[in-house]
């Protein structure tokens, strides 16, 4: 199928009277989406090694392209079909914008620093949510294959980089960056035995953990696909497989391993949902084979890295009450801790961005909340905070339902794999407190919607 035919087949239901011009507009939007995705992966490299003196400004490098996407969507009259969730997000964005104006009028924002923090907080909450729905309408199945191909290719040099980062000193250029000013350098978190948590091309280990989760999901999907349909094949696929296992093994991050387990479980669930026995068997066999290869190969190639991670996990369980009953206990606590704040927080909240780590970066001595639902309550207040949490829960449930239905219709595990990767992050990850997490959450929410939409179109639904 030619690219033009693919565009016509998967093009969202815009006003088609513009004809070829409308298709060119759609292609521009998709190209900008790829730019935003590329910057998400390589923004950290720009901030750490290429332009370290502008690392704070480069934090916002994706924003102009996001605004350009919105401008083109308005110009091309893109119609969002999943209107209720989209409208809810837009209404929340407007209401919270009015809340910021109310805080200014009431004198709550008493300085320029407070105002900057409120604007930053609004960005972290709402700027990228519409982008997810735009991606869901504009990205085609062929675009998704290109995305998978390029990401897996990028994982190869990042795996090599991560090997060196894991054992290099924290002050080494490969970890801290090239900045002369200490305020513009970065410091990796330690594991044990002299190893660091890797950050890859990101400025923090959170970004690398999400990158690893994404490539695990993509790699599983490629291996599950029949050979003629794979976007990566042959020796390149074998090298990419080794790179994915390497990125995971040397990461020093339990989050990446937990994500991989969830994603593999999603693949096995896909096998149970598929109607075709042949596809179901392949969907069952390939994840088991890949997990077995990883479990056998990683300890042989990287025994010290994995031993260091096991020591860190044991020490965390012993020294931190939140880990006393394991990582699952800590995760469950993140879903309930916000209830302690419901009756103590102001009805209109303390201010957008005030409960995240940005407040400490601008010199405000305010409480920091690690779990995102607590942050939502403190920032937005009880009413809007609870609405925002309900929105997140509803979105994830809707994505799961759509992924299950799409997997059954197309015998394709990609929707489930993507939801398995990003679902927990959308539900309770730090999407309002960490910029890279925010970017991954809403971009991959969009990719999930796109896989569901293209499955509906191919089956005529």
- Residue of 8, 12, 65, 6 whose CA lies nearest to 450: 12
Is the pLDDT at 93 greater than 80? The verdict is yes
Q: Could you give phi then psi for residue 272, rounded to 5 degrees?
A: -70, -25
pLDDT tens, residue by residue, 234-266: 999 999 999 999 999 999 999 999 999 999 999
pLDDT category at 438 given cuts 50, 70, 90 is very high
Is the pLDDT at 109 greater than 80? The verdict is no
pTM of the model: 0.90
Exposure b/e, 189-217, CB count within 10 A at least 16 = b: eebbeebbbbbbbbbbbbbbbbbbbbbbb
pLDDT tens, residue by residue, 143-197: 999 999 999 999 999 999 999 999 999 999 999 999 988 888 998 999 999 999 9
């Amino acid at each position: 199928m030619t690219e033009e035919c693919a565009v016509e087949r998967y093009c969202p239901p815009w006003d088609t009277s513009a004809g070829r011009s409308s298709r060119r507009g759609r292609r521009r939007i998709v190209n900008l989406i790829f730019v935003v995705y590329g910057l998400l992966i390589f923004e950290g490299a720009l901030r750490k090694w290429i332009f370290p003196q502008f690392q704070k400004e480069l934090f916002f490098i994706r924003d102009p392209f996001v605004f350009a996407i919105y401008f083109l969507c308005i110009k091309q009259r893109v119609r969002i079909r999943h209107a209720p969730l989209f409208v809810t997000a837009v209404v929340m964005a407007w209401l919270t914008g009015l809340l910021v104006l109310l805080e200014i009028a009431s004198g709550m924002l008493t300085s320029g620093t407070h105002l900057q923090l409120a604007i930053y907080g609004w960005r972290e909450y709402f700027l990228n949510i519409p982008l997810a729905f735009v991606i869901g309408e504009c990205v085609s199945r062929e675009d998704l294959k290109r995305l998978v191909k390029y990401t897996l290719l990028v994982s190869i040099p990042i795996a090599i980089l991560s090997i060196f980062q894991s054992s290099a000193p924290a002050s080494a250029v490969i970890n801290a960056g090239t900045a002369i000013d200490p305020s513009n350098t970065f410091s990796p978190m330690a594991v044990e035995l002299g190893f660091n948590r890797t950050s890859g091309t990101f400025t923090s280990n959170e970004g690398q953990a999400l990158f690893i989760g994404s490539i695990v999901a993509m790699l599983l999907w490629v291996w599950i696909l029949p050979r003629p349909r794979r976007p990566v094949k042959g020796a390149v696929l074998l090298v990419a497989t080794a790179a994915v296992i390497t990125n995971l093994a040397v990461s020093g991050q339990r989050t990446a391993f937990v994500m991989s387990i969830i994603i593999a479980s999603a693949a096995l669930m896909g096998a149970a949902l598929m109607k075709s026995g042949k596809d179901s068997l392949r969907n069952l066999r390939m994840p088991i084979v890949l997990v077995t290869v990883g479990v056998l190969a990683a300890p042989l190639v990287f025994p010290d890295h994995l031993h260091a991670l096991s020591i860190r996990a044991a020490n965390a369980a012993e020294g931190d009450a939140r880990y006393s009953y394991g990582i699952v206990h800590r995760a469950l606590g993140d879903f309930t801790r916000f209830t302690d704040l419901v009756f103590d927080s102001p009805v209109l909240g303390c201010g957008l961005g005030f409960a995240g780590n940005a407040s400490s970066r601008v010199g405000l001595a305010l409480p920091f909340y690690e779990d995102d639902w607590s942050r939502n309550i403190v920032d937005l207040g009880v009413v809007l905070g609870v609405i925002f949490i309900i929105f997140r829960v509803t979105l994830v449930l809707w994505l799961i339902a759509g992924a299950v239905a799409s997997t059954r219709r197309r015998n394709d595990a990609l929707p489930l794999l993507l939801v398995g990767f990003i679902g927990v992050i959308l539900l309770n990850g730090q999407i309002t407190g960490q910029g890279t997490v925010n970017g991954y959450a809403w971009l991959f929410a969009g990719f999930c919607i796109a896989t569901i939409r293209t499955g509906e179109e191919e089956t005529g639904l």
